[in-house]
Every structure is written in C-alpha cells, then in structure tokens.
Amino acid sequence: MIKAIDLTKRYGKHTAVNKINFEIAKGEIIGFLGPNGAGKSTTMNMITGYFAPTDGQILVDGENILSDPEKTRGKIGYLPEHPPLYLDMKVDEYLKFAGRLKKMSSEAIAGDLNRICELVKITDVRGRLIKNLSKGYRQRVGLAQALLGNPQLLILDEPTVGLDPKQIIEIRNLIKDLSEDHTIILSSHILPEISAVCDRVLIINKGSIVASDTPENLAQNLAGMHKLHLQIKGSEESIRAALESLDFQNNISMTGSSEDGVMSVVVEAGKETDIREDVFYALAQHKCPILQMRPLDMSLEEIFLNLTTVETGGNE
Amino acid sequence: MLAVFRKELLTYFTTSVGYIFMGVFLLISGVLFTVGNIFGMSSDYSAFLGGLIMIFLLVVPLLTMKIYSEEKRQKTDQLLMTAPQGTMGIVTGKFLAAGALFLLTLIITGLYPLLLSFHTKMDTAQIIGTYIGFFLLGLSFISIGIYVSSLTDSQAGAAILTFCVLIITWIIDFVASFMPVTPLAGAVFALIIMALAAGWMYNATKNIPSAVITAAVGVALTGILFLINQDLFINLIGKTLSWFSLTRRFSDFPLGILKLNAVIYYLSFSGFFLFLTTQRIEKQRWS
C-alpha cells in the first residue's frame, strides 16, 4: 500500500531522514521505533504530505503522493505528535470541522461522529471546550479526528502519550481492532507497546532504518545469547568449578549478594542451547544449592539500545 | 474553503477577537459620528466614512494577527495541510471569514445614515458607493494582514508588523511626492528592482545562470527603454510607490464615482496577497 523509495529529508545541512526504503502491505501494522530526533515524525510528516521529501518518493497505492496530493491526503488519517487541536473550540465543533475538511457530508459526519466518540470514549466530553480537557482526553480527540471518515491508512505518531495505563491498554486494543480493515503506521518510544501491537517493527536511528523485522524475530536474531541469572549458595570457587565443568562456551560473572554466603551469578551460553538443566546438575554435584534461577532474555529494549548505540557508533 | 470559512467565522465569535474588533470599531465610529455629524449638525456622511479609514488601520491587525500565526504556534496547520484541501482554498476561506466579519460591522454602521435620513435628505447612491469603496479597501487591508500573519508564529509580532505596513501604505503617497523625478533616478530605481529580482531568482532556484540571465535581461531592457523614451522614467519612483497607495484610490468613492479600475485594483491587490500567502505556506512543505 505504501512504498518509500530512497526517501530523504534535509533541513539545510542537517539530514533528518537519509535514503530510507520500506514497503508496507495492506492491513499491516508497522511500528516506527527510535530515539528522539531519529526521524520518525519527519518520515510520517512526509507520508501525510505535510512535508515534501527533499529526495526520493513515496507511493501510496502505486501513485506518487505529489502527483495528486489532495486525493492521497484523503486516504490518510493522521494523528501528529502534538494533536492539532483548536483549544477554543468544543470537541463536537472541532470534529465536525475536521470532517468537513475531509470533505464529508453533514449526514456522514453526524453518523461517524457517534461511532468514533464511542470508540475512543469521548462521548461524555463532546460538549466541552478542548482547552479544558486533560492531556489524555486531548490525545483521544486527536485520535478521533484521525479516525473520522474511516481512512484506509492510519498514521499515528505516539498515540498513547499522556494516557494512563488503563487508557493505554484500551487504545492498544482499539488499534488491534482497527487493524482488521486498516493499514496502520504508529511510532513510539515505548517498546512494549510496539511489540504488543505491531506485526513488524522498523527501528530508525539518525535518519536510517537499522532493523526491520517482526518483534519476535528481532528478539531472537539479535539477542545472540541466552543468559541465566542465578542465586547460588556456596563459595565462589566451588561455584566457578561447577560451572566451568560444563562443556559449553560460557561466560560467568559473579558478584556477592545481600545474603551471606550467597552468590549472584550470570551465565551466558550460545543462543540455541538450553543450559538450565546442566547448570542444575553441575551445581548439585558440587553441593551448591540454587536458590533462584531466572532466564535473562534480551528484551526489545536492550536490542533497541544495542542497535541505536553500538551499530551507529562508527558511522558518524 | 467553506469548512475553513465557517470555522474561522465561528472562532471570531467563540473567542473575544470578533467582539473586540466590532466593539472597538463601533465605539470609535459611534463617537466620531455623534461628535461630527450629530453635534456638528452635518449630513456629510461620506466625509465621516473617509475619516474612519484611520480607525480601520488600527483594528485590522486585530482581525488578522491570529489567522495564521496561531495555527503555526498551536501546530494546527498540520491538520489543515494534511487534509484533502488545496492551500489556496484554505487561505481564501480565512480571508472571506475576516471579510464577512468586517462586512457585518459595516452593515451595523449603516444605522448612522439611516438616523440622519430622518432629518435630512441623503444621497443614497453616494453613501452606497462610499460603502463599496470602504469594503474593498478593507479587503485589501485584510489580505495584507493575512500575509503578514503567515510570516510569523507570534500574534503580537504579526499585529505590530501589519500595523506598520498599513501605515506605510497610508503615507506612501506623501513619501512618493518627495522622491526625485529625473529620468536618471527612475532608471537607477529600475536597475535596483532588476537586481532584487535577480537576487530573488537566485534565492528561489539556487541557480546562478538563471539569476544572471534575469539580471542581464533586466539591464538590457532598462537600457533600451531609457534610450528610446526617457519620459518613461520621469518620476518612476513616485509612480511605483503610489501604486501601493491603497487609500488614494478610495478618494473617488465618496464623490459617488464608482470607477471600475479602482474596483479591479482592490480585488487584484487582495488576490495578489492571497497568492503570496499561499506560496509562503506551500513553501513550508519544502523547507
């Protein structure tokens, strides 16, 4: 549905987005992930036509967005980073205005408004001035604006910012429901959110895509190592002897812990091996009881940090 | 366009801006009318409307200062610019909304000549003519205000700058009368304009040959014209400056003369500034 070819945006000498390429199929939910200033919002602004790319092009349904911008913009519902709200308007007035901007008829707006206000749960504030609403409600009014007219493509820039945990879950479920008949691009710096909702993650850093895969694959491929965190009762030497008797390539780091005579140990092993049983038997032989064992899977968070700090270290 | 028009007009009345504009305008015009026409026992209504121009200069910035600067500051321009609407339509919608509020205020002042007509015989055609002129002049002021508002994201900055520009258009005739009238001065002025055009060309295209060509063509044209007919350059500065004098063309309307060229001048002046505003906003996509 969307294809970006060598998409580039420069502000003067600063390159915000540098030759990125991606393709998004109909019905997919894609997450843009990246630190602040990575180029997520700029990329979204280019897809929605707010900015024109300096170089490269964006195709929506196979058509360059610059060839008929008004038509393309009509297919897209956009929630920018700062919801574009007129603070002096009432929620209802604002949404009606947004509907008219999208060239909807009055009847269509009236019908759609009831449905969407129920969906994002703002029915009870429809008569209030936007400036009197809390951040969470404003965010949802912005989301309602994006959903108006049922556009095929939804672009949501950090849709859950400012919401409380319960609302975040509601919005997340809403996005999942919407994904059945919409293509959705969302950005976030909250990693669990991306992994909970998205089919695919694009990790963007310093204007380039550094990884693109499903959240699960990213976790698997990039984790590299299995790590175990152990609390073991025994002396440092006997624990080390027990663990070094195991025949896999391992890396042991040991620190003392708050409990007397208990060591806190982290063991690493190759990614396809499950070492938990071997570790148990080896330590049992050396009469070092395991008090606690916990696998340390590399979280999306760590992958993200790895990708955005290590790999790009040499580039710039 | 219609959506933006409705929203802007609504916003004038849900915020204080519309009321302040109408209130200030009606208060001052009311005082002037009472003092000049009622206490002064004068039925010369056109003179009164002519005097209102100064007040209008003061209150137009109120009407237009927010119109784009606030969109930028609140980032609501993102909604407008990603909607399936053309930029020209959006700008025109805003312009018409400000124009409609101004028209509404003018209609209220229509009560004054009505009051006078109870006591004396009024020249209806002349009053209507003056009103048309005043409305057209107002539209031109508003179009300047909208353009200035699109340059900045500060309301106060937009208001002050609009006020300054309007004052300049008001005194420009006076300034023009002090400009040198010799053909040589006119030619130098023409060359400066050509240099500015070349500079603008370079700024827009970043292409040195095209700027050089523009400059060369300009210089050649000025030179040829200067050799053929020096009279063209007599008082060129003054003539050019007074092209921007909005108030000068108003002077025929109070006499009851409805000149087509003045009407076209005002409408094209407004259109030109709306076009500039559109260009200015579209350019932001590319910067």
Say yes or no to pLDDT of B95 above 90: yes
* pLDDT of the residue at B285: 85
Mean residue pLDDT of chain B comes to 87
Burial B259-275 (b: 16+ CB within 10 A, else e): eeebeebbeebbeebbe
Q: Is B3 on the interface with A (CB under 8 A)?
A: yes
CB contact under 8 A, B82 and A100: no
- Considering only residues B25 and A268, tell me which one the structure prediction assigns the higher pLDDT: B25
Residue B227 lies in a domain: yes
* pLDDT of the residue at B206: 74
Residue B217 lies in a domain: yes
Q: Pairing mode, if any, of strands A200-205 and A251-256? A: unpaired
Q: What are phi and psi of B259, to 5 degrees?
A: -90, 130
Are B156 and B262 within one domain?
yes
* pLDDT of the residue at A301: 66
Question: Which of A49, A93, A98 lies nearest to residue B10, judging by beta carbons?
Answer: A93
Question: Which of A48, A52, A86 lies nearest to residue B286, judging by beta carbons?
Answer: A52
Q: Pairing mode, if any, of strands A153-157 and A76-79? A: parallel
* pLDDT of the residue at B142: 95
Distance of CA A244 to the CA centre of its chain: 40
**Both tokens of residue A120?**
């994002």
* pLDDT of the residue at A126: 92
**Most confident range, picked from A210-219, B236-245, B257-266:** B257-266
**Chains A & B: contacts with CB separation below 8 Å:** 73
DSSP state of B37: I
Are B146 and B269 within one domain?
yes
* pLDDT of the residue at A222: 55
pLDDT tens by residue, B19-64: 999 999 999 889 988 888 888 877 777 778 777 888 888 888 988 9
Residue type, A38: A
Which of A109-118, B28-37, B191-200, B249-258 shows the lowest per-residue confidence on average (mean pLDDT)?
A: B249-258
Q: Are A3 and A58 in contact (CB under 8 A)?
A: yes
Which of A4-8, A160-164, A198-202, B156-160 shows the lowest per-residue confidence on average (mean pLDDT)?
A: A160-164
* pLDDT of the residue at A207: 85
pLDDT (mean) for B72-79: 91
Question: Is residue A8 helix, strand or coil?
Answer: strand
CB contact under 8 A, B84 and A102: yes
The class of domain A225-297 in CATH terms is alpha beta
Which chain A residues contact residue B80 at CB under 8 A? 101
Residue B162 lies in a domain: yes
Q: pLDDT over 70 for what percent of chain A? A: 88
Q: Find the residue in B nearest to A90 (Cα).
A: B14
Q: Which one, of A257, A215, A262, lies nearest residue A238 by Cα?
A: A262
Measuring CA to CA, how many Å separate B127 from each of B41, B133, B192, B256, B258?
Answer: 17, 10, 43, 7, 11
A226 falls in which pLDDT band (50, 70, 90)?
Answer: low
pLDDT (mean) for A191-219: 81
**Shortest CA gap B16–chain A (Å):** 10
Q: Pairing mode, if any, of strands A251-256 and A76-79? A: unpaired
Are B266 and B194 within one domain?
no
CB contact under 8 A, B84 and A85: no
Q: Which residue out of B13, B71, B82 would a mutagenesis test of the A interface target, given it has the greatest number of A Cβ atoms within 10 Å?
A: B82
Pairwise CA distance, residues B200 & A262, whole Å: 76
pLDDT (mean) for A40-63: 89
* A93 burial type by CB count under 10 A (0-12 exposed, 13-18 middle, 19+ buried): buried
* pLDDT of the residue at A224: 52
* CATH homologous superfamily of A2-221: P-loop containing nucleotide triphosphate hydrolases (3.40.50.300)
Q: Is B118 on the interface with A (CB under 8 A)?
A: no
Are B165 and B119 within one domain?
yes
Say yes or no to pLDDT of A315 above 70: no
Pairwise CA distance, residues A103 & A116, whole Å: 17
Which of A179-193, B60-74, B259-273 shows the lowest per-residue confidence on average (mean pLDDT)?
A: A179-193
Q: Using CA of residue B135, residue B138, residue B140, residue B142, what is the dihedral sign? A: negative
Residue B23 lies in a domain: yes
Residue B239 lies in a domain: no
pLDDT (mean) for A197-225: 77
Q: Which one, of A193, A164, A158, A184, lies nearest residue A81 by Cα?
A: A158
**Shortest CA gap B10–chain A (Å):** 9
pLDDT (mean) for A181-195: 83
Are B199 and B164 within one domain?
no
CB contact under 8 A, A85 and B78: no
Say yes or no to pLDDT of A251 above 80: no
**Shortest CA gap B92–chain A (Å):** 14
Q: What's the complex ipTM?
A: 0.84
Q: What are phi and psi of A13, to 5 degrees?
A: -90, -15
Which residues pair with residue A304 across a beta bridge?
Answer: none
Are B126 and B257 within one domain?
yes
Q: Pairing mode, if any, of strands A200-205 and A208-213? A: antiparallel
* pLDDT of the residue at B59: 87
**Both tokens of residue A126?**
């429809």
Which of A29-38, A121-130, A266-275, B147-156 shows the lowest per-residue confidence on average (mean pLDDT)?
A: A266-275
Residue B258 lies in a domain: yes
* pLDDT of the residue at A316: 35
Are B199 and B63 within one domain?
no
- Considering only residues A223 and B246, tell me which one the structure prediction assigns the higher pLDDT: B246
Domain that holds residue B172: 2-178+244-286
Are B104 and B205 within one domain?
no
Q: State the residue for tokens 């916003």.
A: B11
Which chain B residues contact residue A48 at CB under 8 A? 82
> What is the number of domains present in chain B?
2
Are B105 and B216 within one domain?
no
pLDDT tens by residue, A135-167: 889 999 999 999 998 899 999 998 888 788 888
Q: Pairing mode, if any, of strands A63-64 and A225-233? A: unpaired
Measuring CA to CA, how many Å separate B209 from each of A34, B199, B200, B213?
Answer: 42, 12, 13, 6
CB contact under 8 A, A50 and B78: yes
Are B107 and B194 within one domain?
no
Q: Find the residue in A nearest to B90 (Cα).
A: A101
Which chain A residues contact residue B15 at CB under 8 A? 88
Q: Find the residue in A nearest to B287 (Cα).
A: A11
Say yes or no to pLDDT of A314 above 90: no
- How is chain A split into domains, by residue range? 2-221, 225-297
Question: Is residue A175 helix, strand or coil?
Answer: helix
Residue B146 lies in a domain: yes
Q: Pairing mode, if any, of strands A29-33 and A183-188? A: parallel
A220 falls in which pLDDT band (50, 70, 90)?
Answer: low
pLDDT (mean) for B79-100: 93
Are B56 and B89 within one domain?
yes
* pLDDT of the residue at A298: 61
**Both tokens of residue A275?**
């070492």
Question: Which of B10, B84, B285 lies nearest to residue A50, judging by beta carbons?
Answer: B285
Are B153 and B223 within one domain?
no
Q: Find the residue in A nearest to B84 (Cα).
A: A70
Q: State the residue for tokens 């004068």.
A: B42
Q: Which one, of A215, A182, A177, A231, lies nearest residue A2 by Cα?
A: A182
Q: Are A254 and A288 in contact (CB under 8 A)?
A: no
Q: Which residue out of A14, A65, A70 would a mutagenesis test of the B interface target, given it has the greatest number of B Cβ atoms within 10 Å?
A: A70
A225 falls in which pLDDT band (50, 70, 90)?
Answer: low
CB contact under 8 A, A103 and B11: no
* pLDDT of the residue at A313: 39
Q: Is B16 on the interface with A (CB under 8 A)?
A: no
* pLDDT of the residue at A311: 42
**Shortest CA gap A196–chain B (Å):** 28
CB contact under 8 A, B6 and A52: no
Mean residue pLDDT of chain A comes to 83
